[in-house]
Amino acid sequence: MALRIHNTLTRTLQEFVPLRAGKVGMYVCGMTIYDLCHMGHLRMMMAFDVVYRWLRTSGYDVTYVRNITDIEDKIIQRALERKITIRALTNEMIEAMHADLAAVGVAVPTLEPRATDHVPQMAALIGQLESKGLAYRASNGDVNFSVRKFPGYGKLSGKSLDELRAGERVAVLDGKQDPLDFVLWKAAKADEPADAKYDSPYGPGRPGWHIECSAMSHATLGEPFDIHGGGMDLTFPHHENEIAQSEGASGGEFVRYWLHNGFLNVDNQKMSKSLGNFFTIRDVLERYDGETLRFFMLRTHYRSPFNFSDVHLDDARVALRRLYTALQDVDAPAQAIDWAEPRAAAFRAAMDEDFNTPLALAVLFDLAGELNRTRSAQTAGLLRALGATLGILQQAPRAYLQGDSLDAAAIEALIAARNAAKQARDFATADRLRQQLTEMGVQLKDSAQGTTWVKA
């Protein structure tokens, strides 16, 4: 069975055929690095970590590029607030990001270009657009892209220019010939710090966000390349604008396959500081180990909406322990995978169908059930090996279980998660949590006064 992926551009599942046999170029829009990464960022980086790992498991030589935006309005403002240089702020935040991602087992990309290292390439790309009549110098010193001069604008998002104009989704700004036009180069302002300004043929200033990714992807992968990814919120306008710039300049195809991960919600609401439900990766790692957090995110398909809650995290922690518990008495090393073996074939079929990690995890639980019955070293080795393709089940089982042992406080947390599920009328989760507590040797007693427990 061939790998099929959902292409946002065609809105269909397509067989993946790279431009060059055996090689894949993949670019993913990374962080605008002015603060600690939050759970929405991890949702995106985990989604493409899975894609990267599975492409390599499938035998491809992958060049994975995940950029860093290190010059932008929010970065400038935060540096001014903290009275430090932009470079000091971004270096600090990049180091923090790397530490957080390592804790969750997110693989290091092949290349991690910084926008500030590619300003000359951005200026050159703007020059190509200007020479083709697609860019113009505005009265305020900015350089803008004229969207109505690019015939294919809207093909990724499905939005038409007339619909966008009628909906008044874009405010009119000084210097634009059309309110839908977007900035390629921002002219420097007198009150901006010196380290926010770069020299260019258009005067001092800095690049717009959209041109950064077009220039960095071209510099690292050329054009066209195979896969471009990012969060669903980037489909419009960011990725739509990337297509317009890149194809406007080259006259050819920019990207073959566009992948976008689903939104993250917290308890079925959008994550927001104003709602008090905003969590950084570090917030969560204070309460859960990195592998539990990773496993938790693998349980949802990358394109589906992702609901973050303590109930689901507690459920994921117990489920992961079940896999490690199956391995603890038969600690066989990971083996070379025979993809003709029925469980391995089922796992591969799931992953080849648009990276369906929930179905792939179901295969791991089938193997764990068999391992509990047979204590087979071969089954344990296969469970370990398949887990490795997803970045899980690589710790020593006894060490993991002892380090994450369920003490009284943890049992109380699971009971609270069950009660919350019952209150939310999520009876399937409540029943599953009760069953998991039973399997751990915990007997529950429900009464009008609440739930108590004893060791069975």
- Give pLDDT, residue 444: 83
Can you tell me the mean pLDDT for 191-207?
Answer: 95
- Give pLDDT, residue 170: 47
Structural domain harbouring 338: 309-405
Can you tell me the mean pLDDT for 158-179?
Answer: 71
Boundary-marking domain end, from 389, 405, 421: 405
Report residue 439's pLDDT band, with 50, 70 and 90 as the boundaries: low
Do the domain assignments include residue 296? no
Please tell me whether residues 89 and 31 are part of one structural domain: yes
Two structure tokens written together for 311: 């109930």
Please tell me whether residues 215 and 228 are part of one structural domain: yes
Report residue 385's pLDDT band, with 50, 70 and 90 as the boundaries: very high
Q: For 264-273, how does the pLDDT look when each residue is reduced to its tens digit (9 = 90+)?
A: 888 777 776 6
Do the domain assignments include residue 187? yes
Report residue 97's pLDDT band, with 50, 70 and 90 as the boundaries: very high
Please tell me whether residues 338 and 425 are part of one structural domain: no
Residue 452, pLDDT > 70, answer yes
Residue 295, pLDDT > 90, answer yes
Two structure tokens written together for 46: 């985990």
Boundary-marking domain end, from 405, 424, 441: 405
Please tell me whether residues 190 and 319 are part of one structural domain: no
Cα four-point dihedral sign 103, 107, 110, 114: negative
Do the domain assignments include residue 273? no
Please tell me whether residues 232 and 351 are part of one structural domain: no
The length of the chain, given as a count of residues: 456
- Give pLDDT, residue 52: 98
Higher pLDDT, 407 or 352: 352
Can you tell me the mean pLDDT for 313-323?
Answer: 95
- Give pLDDT, residue 378: 95
Can you tell me the mean pLDDT for 388-403?
Answer: 90
Can you tell me the mean pLDDT for 92-118?
Answer: 95
- Give pLDDT, residue 407: 57
Please tell me whether residues 109 and 144 are part of one structural domain: yes
Can you tell me the mean pLDDT for 57-67?
Answer: 98
Q: Number of folded domains in the chain?
A: 3
Do the domain assignments include residue 106? yes
- Give pLDDT, residue 399: 83
Please tell me whether residues 384 and 417 are part of one structural domain: no
Can you tell me the mean pLDDT for 109-120?
Answer: 97
Residue 199, pLDDT > 70, answer yes
Please tell me whether residues 64 and 171 are part of one structural domain: yes
Report residue 89's pLDDT band, with 50, 70 and 90 as the boundaries: very high
Report residue 168's pLDDT band, with 50, 70 and 90 as the boundaries: very low
Report residue 174's pLDDT band, with 50, 70 and 90 as the boundaries: low
Confirm if 352 and 14 have CB atoms less than 8 A apart. Answer: no
